[in-house]
């Protein structure tokens, strides 16, 4: 089908939960009706704050689109930003707008009514498992939603009294789950037969919290989630859940938008049947006895290790880049990490309105990389036959600074993955490193001296979590190995360094660092005192009273250097 037009979707973040279903529904219906969908979104990686990523919305030229879908619901963690964007859309956009969520400005609003879905989920627990004392967990007191309405309807239908004791509020995140688990364990509230959670996330955290107190699911308490997100089928303990018609709501929003754009009658979208997905958390999906706490801990540890290992090669290549051409080469070697794409463009912003494409697959040669208007997103117009069905536009931001954007095109409706979000973050770090390296003033060869050479490389780049930091060598207490990683230990915390211990030893031996064991390099300037210890080793006490053992092999040299010999 030839494309009729373009639809712009504005959302906060795709968190690989039911929002995926909204976007898939939007994209499928738009593709079916002949529209290209362009999604502008931040890549928050599950953070609850932004660091300048909202600059991506400045790339939107409303004149390029035939209609807009504003996914207000996705801005639940950034309410002020959502309200600001809603006002800006109203002021700048003359095209039809539909809203998924809530709006005080636009009239075409889709909130979805999943009370029936939630009611049927509660029916299953009562009818199939004979539960009589049930709690609803999540949400805010005094703010009724489809979820608690469906829960209450089910209890009333089965003649179960509904009181304030049944309704356990406390928010939409893990805090409410942790508190209820503790209250049940300490007897502050009566242990229920089942807990119906507002979402799959709350259910997962609740099950995890219960396991810490030795309360088994489903043997002691049955637990359900809601929304059929990916977290419900997590490989640890599958959660009984229910679909929330997100796909249906997304398709309905596009059908309404098409009607507003064309003036045609709104196509009818059939609502799907409520789908109860049973899992281990209610016993229907298998209730074999397992060491849940051990599996949770192993899962978390493996997830962290896998993520660090998977990103290490990309990190190393980016840190080795010296210019934009080198960065483009790295992207050409690693863009396979973004699966199922039909095209990708990585662009840096030369000024507020202009971008420069540093890499684009298939459709652009290196000699054709020229500046273009940022709101064009891609530096070229695709041939009609090769135009992507859906385009995801993410910001490239470092330290709150707008560096550029990455645009990924797909030939079929897709949602972007955590790999793509990580890729955008890593590109930002790579571009920033290149900028810092190119701005450094080299020391003329004739002026170099022994004193100057001891001052080189006085800072290094290191990670604390997902944030890259530039730390001073003088502030490092010691370097040590931790599994596959090298860690710089400072008074302010632990930072992962992308260099092996042998390289650091050679690099900083002339500025007061010394290898004191197989796994540790010590900053001698941080040693307050030292004394002999067992087996002819020595024990060094650092500032802050951290103690480091010096091996027998290294002890003589350590003592000599500390004495100035």
Please tell me the predicted confidence (pLDDT) of residue 441: 36
What is the enclosing helix (H) or strand (E) of 505? helix 501-508
Task: Say what angle helices 18-32 and 246-262 make with each other, to 10 degrees.
Answer: 40
Query: Would you identify the CATH topology of the domain 446-562?
Result: OB fold (Dihydrolipoamide Acetyltransferase, E2P) (2.40.50)
- pLDDT tens per residue, range 462-520: 877 656 677 889 899 999 998 878 999 998 888 888 788 888 998 898 889 999 999 99
Which three-class secondary structure state does DSSP give residue 81? Answer: helix
Least confident piece of the model among 126-140, 324-338, 356-370? 356-370
CA–CA distances in Å: residue 306 to residues 204, 332, 425, 493: 21, 23, 17, 22
Which three-class secondary structure state does DSSP give residue 396? Answer: strand
Please tell me the predicted confidence (pLDDT) of residue 27: 92
Please tell me the predicted confidence (pLDDT) of residue 520: 95
Q: Where are the domains of the chain?
A: 115-244+278-301, 322-439, 446-562
Average of per-residue pLDDT across 237-241: 87
Please tell me the predicted confidence (pLDDT) of residue 360: 87
Whether the Cβ atoms of residue 53 and residue 397 lie closer than 8 Å to each other: yes
Question: Considering only CA atoms, which of 406, 409, 350, 405 is closest in space to residue 382?
Answer: 409
Confidence (pTM): 0.70
Q: State the number of CA atoms in the 13 A half-sphere of 301 facing the CB.
A: 7
Least confident piece of the model among 45-54, 204-213, 280-289? 280-289
CATH of domain 115-244+278-301: 3.40.50.2300
Q: Which long-range contacts (CB under 8 A, 24 or more apart) does 470-477 make?
A: 470/436, 471/495, 473/508, 473/511, 474/523, 474/525, 476/523, 476/526, 477/522, 477/523, 477/526, 477/542, 477/543, 477/544, 477/546
Q: How many CB atoms lie within 10 A of CB 357?
A: 21
* Phi, psi for 266 (deg, rounded to 5): -70, 125
Please tell me the predicted confidence (pLDDT) of residue 308: 54
Which three-class secondary structure state does DSSP give residue 517? Answer: strand
322-439 carries CATH number 3.30.420.40: no
Both tokens of 335, joined, read 């863009």
Q: How many residues does the chain have?
A: 565
Which three-class secondary structure state does DSSP give residue 70? Answer: strand
What HEC string does 162-188 produce?
CCHHHEECCECCHHHHHHHHHHHHCCC
* DSSP bridge pairs for 242: 276
**Which of 100-114, 296-310, 452-466 is predicted most confidently?**
100-114
- pLDDT tens per residue, range 175-231: 999 999 999 999 999 999 999 999 888 999 999 999 999 999 999 999 999 887 766
Please tell me the predicted confidence (pLDDT) of residue 37: 95
CA–CA distances in Å: residue 352 to residues 55, 58, 498: 10, 9, 33
What is the enclosing helix (H) or strand (E) of 328? helix 324-334
- pLDDT tens per residue, range 76-120: 778 899 999 999 999 999 999 999 988 999 999 988 778 888 999
**Residues 6 or more apart whose Cβ sits within 8 Å of residue 235:** 299
**Which of 67-81, 255-269, 347-361 is predicted most confidently?**
255-269
Which three-class secondary structure state does DSSP give residue 444? Answer: coil
Q: What is the mean pLDDT of the chain?
A: 83
Q: How many CB atoms lie within 10 A of CB 502?
A: 11
């Amino acid at each position: 089908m030839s494309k009729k037009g373009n639809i712009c979707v504005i959302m906060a973040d795709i968190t690989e939960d039911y929002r995926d279903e909204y976007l898939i529904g939007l994209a499928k219906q738009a593709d079916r009706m002949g529209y290209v969908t362009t999604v502008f979104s931040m890549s928050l990686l599950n953070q609850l704050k932004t660091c300048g990523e909202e600059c991506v919305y400045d790339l939107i030229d409303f004149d390029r689109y035939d209609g807009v879908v504003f996914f207000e619901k996705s801005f639940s963690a950034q309410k002020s930003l959502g309200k600001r964007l809603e006002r800006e859309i109203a002021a700048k956009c003359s095209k039809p707008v539909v809203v998924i969520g809530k709006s005080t400005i636009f009239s075409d609003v889709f909130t979805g009514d999943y009370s029936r879905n939630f009611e049927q989920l509660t029916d299953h627990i009562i009818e199939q498992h004979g539960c009589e004392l049930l709690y609803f967990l999540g949400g805010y007191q005094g703010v009724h939603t489809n979820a608690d309405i469906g829960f209450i309807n089910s209890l009333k239908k089965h003649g179960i009294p509904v009181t304030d004791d049944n309704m356990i509020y406390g928010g939409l995140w893990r805090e409410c789950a942790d508190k209820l688990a503790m209250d049940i364990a300490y007897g502050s509230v009566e242990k229920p037969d089942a807990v119906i959670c507002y979402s799959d996330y709350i259910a997962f955290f609740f099950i995890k919290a219960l396991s810490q107190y030795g309360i088994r699911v489903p043997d002691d308490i049955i637990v359900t989630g809601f929304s059929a997100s990916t977290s419900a089928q997590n490989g640890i303990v599958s959660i009984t859940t229910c679909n929330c018609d997100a796909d249906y709501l997304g398709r309905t929003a596009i059908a309404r938008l098409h009607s507003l754009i064309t003036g045609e009658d709104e196509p009818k979208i059939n609502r799907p049947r409520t789908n109860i997905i049973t899992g281990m958390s209610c016993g229907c999906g298998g209730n074999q006895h397992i060491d849940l706490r051990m599996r949770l801990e192993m899962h978390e540890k493996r997830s962290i290790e896998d993520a660090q290992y998977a990103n290490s090669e990309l990190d190393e290549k980016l840190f080795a880049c010296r210019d934009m051409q080198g960065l483009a080469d790295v992207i050409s070697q690693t863009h396979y990490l973004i699966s199922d794409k039909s095209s990708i463009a990585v662009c840096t912003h030369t000024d507020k309105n202009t971008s420069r494409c540093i890499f684009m697959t298939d459709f652009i040669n290196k000699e054709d990389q020229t500046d273009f208007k940022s709101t064009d997103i891609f530096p070229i117009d695709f041939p009609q036959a090769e135009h992507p069905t859906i385009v995801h536009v993410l910001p490239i931001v470092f330290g709150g600074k707008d560096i550029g954007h990455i645009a990924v095109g797909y030939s079929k409706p897709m949602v972007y993955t955590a790999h793509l979000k990580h890729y955008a973050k890593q590109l930002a770090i790579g571009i920033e490193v290149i900028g810092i390296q190119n701005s450094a003033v080299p020391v003329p060869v004739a002026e170099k001296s022994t004193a100057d050479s001891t001052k080189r490389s006085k800072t290094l780049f290191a990670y604390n979590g997902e944030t890259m930091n530039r730390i001073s060598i003088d502030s490092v207490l010691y370097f040590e190995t931790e599994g596959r990683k090298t860690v710089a230990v400072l008074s302010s915390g632990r930072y992962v360094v992308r260099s092996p211990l042998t390289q650091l030893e050679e690099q900083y031996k002339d500025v007061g660092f010394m290898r004191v064991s197989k796994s540790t390099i010590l900053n001698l300037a941080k040693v307050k005192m030292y004394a002999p210890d067992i087996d002819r080793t020595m024990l060094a006490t650092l500032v802050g009273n951290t103690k480091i053992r010096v091996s027998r092999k290294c002890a003589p040299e350590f003592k000599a250097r500390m004495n100035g010999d």
